[in-house]
Structure 1
Amino acid sequence: MTNKNAGVLFSVDLMRQIKDRFHYVDFDMRGRRRLFFDNAGGSFRLKTATERHSIIDAIPDCPERIHELALYLQDVQERGTQDVRTVLNALNGTVYASLTASGAMFDMVRAITENIPGKNMVTSVLEHPSSYDAMEMYATRTGKELRVAKSNTMTGGIDVDDVVGLVDENTCLLSVMYASNISGAKIDIEKVVSRARAIKPDLYILVDAVQHAPHGIIDLQKTAVDGINFAPYKFFGCRGSGFSWLSPRAARLPHNKLAGKAQDFWDLGSPTPSQFAVVTEMVDYVCWLGSQFSGASERRALFACGMDRIAQHEQALLFQMLNGGNGVPGLRKIDGLKVFFDHDDLTTRDLIVAITFDGLTDTQAVREYEKRGVIVYERVTTSLYSQRMLDSFGIKGSVRVSPLHCNSTEDISQFLEITRELSLL
């Protein structure tokens, strides 16, 4: 193994500032010191996001009125809408705010499969149930064949050839995730889109970006898809909302909407301005981070710089977790445990590690970690959120470890020390 993928850590001073902007990074709500390494299930919350959400949500005024505070709420919503575009680098199309990103995925799959002709649909075995189950349901309802790309048991991801090889001139929809929430493996969406469209230029493509969005740059100008979603609660924001974007042609497909609304309008019911305020706080934070490294003034440029630096810091944490540092051995060097999907190219991985212990079941390991102040999560075949993916890898389960860029090298060293202790049980 080489260190070519070692990443770049934040400075000590910047790391301190970053931690200070989030709730409960080093201590839980009861003041107990802990390592929260379950960010793939819901990330650390920005203090400004939770505060802003509370302030805006407390305003009783309906944003669909004409008085002063109603106009203020309209402005909050408009700024949040533009910041969804900032996250995705989306210049046109429709922003769709929903209760959950999962619900929006079902809506987008339905609109395409019910209205676009074709004999088959293509997805992958690693998809989140909100995507896979939607594809399966509407393939059955519309009488289309569902083609499922296999996983790569070595990388934990999906090979581009295996996805594109299932696409033909009769494919009406391709739906694929940006990164696996079990292995952390990233899918090369740019290559998937380019090669799939070479086979069928007018192919509709959906992307589930919920897992990847907090960890790297998304650029719809490079990956021209027809729908994509993300969830604020995994992206430093709050629970209770999901955001999606649809291309102009996808947004105009028949879908549930009020008759008086524009053909490409997707929101139903009264808007919730606090949802949009949270997105603006998320983008403000990443832009602040970008401003520590760039003199750019344009908001998307600062955001992209901030996300790039997040990715570099997380890659450095992943490198340390695998190889060790500060006198502490990495996971690769600890006897009594196995690291799944381990390979050298860390640029193709988000900050998720899947491990299992020789002497503990995955559930037992999670309990032992918690006793020592570490929160991780077991992915096991008894879970509807894990079974299909784990079966494809040929494994029964793993302990998922998912820190965030808010974590430091000291946090990783502490985790490794505790892991070495558990390996001896």
Structure 2
Amino acid sequence: MKIHDNTEAELLLNVDVIRAEFPILARRVHGDRPLVYLDNAATSQTPQAVIDVLDDYFHRYNANIHRGLHCLADEATAAFEGSRETVRGFLNAADKREIVFTRGTTEAINLVAQSYGRAFLQPGDEILVSMMEHHSNIVPWQLLAAERGLSIKTIPVDTRGVLDLAAYAALFTPRTKLVAVTHVSNALGTVNPVDELVRVAHAHGARILVDGAQAAPHQAIDVQALGVDFYAFSSHKVYGPTGVGALYGRLELLEAMPPWQGGGEMIKLVRLDGETTFAEPPHKFEAGTPAIAEVIAFGAALRWFTRFPVDLVDEWERRLLLAATEGVKRIEGARVIGEAPGKAGVLSFVIDGVHAQDIGLLIDQFGVAIRTGHHCAQPLLHSFGLDATCRASFAIYNTLGEVETFLDALERVVKMVRG
């Protein structure tokens, strides 16, 4: 299925040159089929420049950070803290002390739940979460609610996958203390109006945490302009390694919050016969030896990604999404799930009479990697009457030729299953 000539965004980004920076994209699978990787919402691939940073760390300056007096420790500490400054700049945070390194978005949300939530939420208080949240922005609040006697209220989503803003505003009461909402839905691609959500929450005296895992690779993020209280995202969605991410928290909030985990690094003074005192943010929340190499590579990935104009990245990924969406809709019995205006590069769909898992397994035989299942968003899918969808998700290195391959393989799979 031929669907394109070169577009201006493709030419300006020089997508072929970008692809050459990712060794894995040259792989051939299942015999001699070129890999078509469309599972970027789960994990993006990693460019050679970031791989080289990991390699360099272990070859030249593998050492624990802070407190060490030898040259390797100094170099590792400088590189680690350099990544903190890179994340600060990526989010436009006011102060690098507002950046806490975590194992990813999930741990960042749990940190807020267990530190801020335990300290400042009282029995009877309310938390608002949206219907479209990833489980990592639902379950930590459920655990906290069960422990603290809190109430969780749900912001509804319409049939297009758009948050109902009128219903959102109507949910607030004097007991509403926290809103937890995604910036971009991992299952639908819906881009939520975070600035408006923040405005309403703050007007009612509530704090707001935003899950930015899916927004970070697709758009510019300015936490000061958005006005968020907390913002979390993960390295492995933004061309970096797995197992590391960051939490932004407004400094006055982090200063008021107690530690979540205890151990080395997060203390000023430990006494057995008196009160232990804690370090200032962000180190108060970074107990133990962190993922040093991964944090350094995380910074390298952000520096790699921010070389590209975000408006061109957005334009290119929307072109990929449009081509894929139009092609899927031409398949008999296909239905796209989530058609919010201005959505990010996520395409979820179902096809009548063909189970999503069968599609995922069979299309892989043609070299096409997509994701199938509930995408850790079971409440959202159940609201659409579904248990699973197929999801193709796009990144800066994907091409319209790959979209053609995906659509051709999908048509062949559907014909195979339907006989």
TM-score by length of 1: 0.85
| Residues 1:205 and 1:99: Cα distance change in structure 2 (over 3 Å) | same
Map 1:212-251 → 2, pairs under 5 A? 212-251=215-254
TM-score by length of 2: 0.86
Aligned to 1:308: 311
Aligned to 1:292: none
Query: Which residue, 75, 98, 104 being the options, matches 2:102?
Result: 98
Aligned to 2:275: none
Of stretches 365-374 and 31-40 in structure 1, the one that deviates more from structure 2 is: 31-40
Q: What's the offset of the Cα at 1:12? A: 7.4
Map 1:382-401 → 2, pairs under 5 A? 385-401=376-392
Q: What's the offset of the Cα at 1:35? A: 0.7
Q: What's the offset of the Cα at 1:117? A: 4.4
Aligned to 1:25: 25
Q: 1:113 touches 1:139 (CA, 8 Å); kept in 2? A: no
- Is it true that 1:122 corresponds to 2:124 in the alignment? no
Q: What's the offset of the Cα at 1:358? A: 2.2
Q: Distance in 2 between matches of 1:213 and 1:73?
A: 26
Aligned to 1:418: 409
Query: Which residue, 135, 151, 172 being the options, matches 1:145?
Result: 151
- The number of equivalent residue pairs is 388
2:386 is paired with a residue whose SS is: coil
Aligned to 2:84: 81
Q: What's the offset of the Cα at 1:95? A: 1.3
Q: Distance in 1 between matches of 2:13 and 2:348?
A: 30
Aligned to 2:202: 197
Aligned to 2:354: 360
- Cα deviation, 1:171-218, whole Å, max 9, x if unaligned, reads 221111111111111111111001221232xx2111111122111111
Identical residues among aligned pairs (%):
20
* Aligned-pair Cα RMSD in Å: 2.2
Structure 1's unaligned 5+ residue stretches are 1-6, 290-305, 324-329
Q: Distance in 1 between matches of 2:29 and 2:352?
A: 33
Q: 1:227 touches 1:250 (CA, 8 Å); kept in 2? A: no
- Cα deviation, 1:249-268, whole Å, max 9, x if unaligned, reads 22121123434142423111
Query: Which residue, 163, 186, 191 being the options, matches 1:186?
Result: 191
Aligned to 1:268: 287
Q: What's the offset of the Cα at 1:29? A: 7.6
- Cα deviation, 1:17-71, whole Å, max 9, x if unaligned, reads 1111223224258974121111111111121112212321453333221222222
Q: Distance in 2 between matches of 1:162 and 1:279?
A: 38
Q: Kindly report structure 1 stretches of 4+ aligned residues shifted beyond 3 Å.
A: 28-32, 57-60
| Residues 1:272 and 1:424: Cα distance change in structure 2 (over 3 Å) | closer
Query: Which residue, 354, 372, 378 being the options, matches 1:378?
Result: 372
Q: Distance in 2 between matches of 1:133 and 1:166?
A: 20
Q: Distance in 2 between matches of 1:165 and 1:44?
A: 41
Aligned to 1:10: 10
Q: What's the offset of the Cα at 1:398? A: 1.1
Q: What's the offset of the Cα at 1:359? A: 3.4
AA at the equivalent of 1:399: C
AA at the equivalent of 1:145: S
Q: 1:121 touches 1:172 (CA, 8 Å); kept in 2? A: yes
Structure 2's unaligned 5+ residue stretches are 1-6, 269-277
| Residues 1:362 and 1:117: Cα distance change in structure 2 (over 3 Å) | closer
Q: What's the offset of the Cα at 1:151? A: 2.2
Q: What's the offset of the Cα at 1:137? A: 1.1
